[in-house]
Amino acid sequence: MERGQALPPTLWDVSTPALIDAGWTVYSLTTALASEAGGIHVDLLTDAYSAFVNNRPNALEGALAMLPLAGDYVRALPENARAEREAHAKTDGQATVLIWQALLTGTHRYNPITHKPLWSHGFVGHFSVPHIHQYATGIGQTPSQVWGVEGFNSRFVGTSSNSNQVEHLGISSLLQGVGNVPSAVLSAVEALEEYIDYEDPIAGAADRALNEVVRKVLVPGIEKDPLDLAAALRAALAAEQE
């Protein structure tokens, strides 16, 4: 079956500090990707990058299009890979959100209560869609610069400087849906950052509003069909049509 967007060959032929720190080399990565689970993951990356390209510049639509892809990936994993996944995510819904966040940005997360790392995405997290896009274009950009905030209702953005809402959506979903971190804790962290780091209060309010959507929509619906969950998130987060 024909897959999605072709991946840049240079994506694989590199040893980043993060890969090295995680114990990966070009050779061990190639071996892992040649396995059954690795092949399924490469298919996921091509489809996810295709979803990103086809929905540009609408960041929200591109991000939500990857949620069902993550669900399909989780269900397609062989038993040995599923057992490894269950060390971090106990259900298919949690695993779907875990993989979804890895696709969106792949950033490593710390529990804001304990300040300890929640988990590492392993080599999965090193090949997020923004990472792929940088290799495809040859332009170094942050995930926020790659994604933008097009498609989000303005109440979830706040100010033009608040450009990381796709990353925020993924992180909030991961912390609340998989890490069981309460929305109130995340909102308290946002308020503390405003006070200590002089963060923009308008942007902080937008971030807290996004956290509330995750609490009310994603957390109780995490085990739903990912297509239905994506539709519910779209209805809550999308900009109003003119």
Q: What is the pTM of this model?
A: 0.85
Q: How confident is the model at residue 195 (pLDDT cuts 50, 70, 90)?
A: very low
Cβ atoms 155, 206 nearer than 8 A: yes
Rounded (10°) angle between helices 129-137 and 36-55: 70
**What is the Cα–Cα distance from 119 to 182, expressed in whole angstroms?**
18
Task: Using alpha carbons only, give the angle 42, 90, 114 rounded to the nearest 5 degrees.
Answer: 100
Beta bridge partners of 109: 119
For residue 212, what are its two tokens? 């509330």
What pLDDT is stored for residue 173 in this prediction? 93
What pLDDT is stored for residue 26 in this prediction? 76
Using the predicted structure, report yes or no on whether residue 86 has a pLDDT greater than 70.
no
Residue 125 backbone zone (phi > 0: left; psi -120 to 50: alpha; other: beta): alpha
- pLDDT tens for residues 13-72? 766 666 777 677 777 877 877 777 778 888 999 999 999 999 999 999 999 999 999 999
pLDDT more than 90, % of the chain: 42
Contacts of 48 (CB under 8 A, 6+ apart): 4, 66, 69, 103, 129
**What is the Cα–Cα distance from 92 to 108, expressed in whole angstroms?**
21
Mean pLDDT of 119-132: 71
Using the predicted structure, report yes or no on whether residue 143 has a pLDDT greater than 80.
yes
Domain spans of the chain?
15-237
Contacts of 185 (CB under 8 A, 6+ apart): 112, 113
For 77, other C-beta atoms within 10 Å of its C-beta total: 19
Q: How confident is the model at residue 81 (pLDDT cuts 50, 70, 90)?
A: low
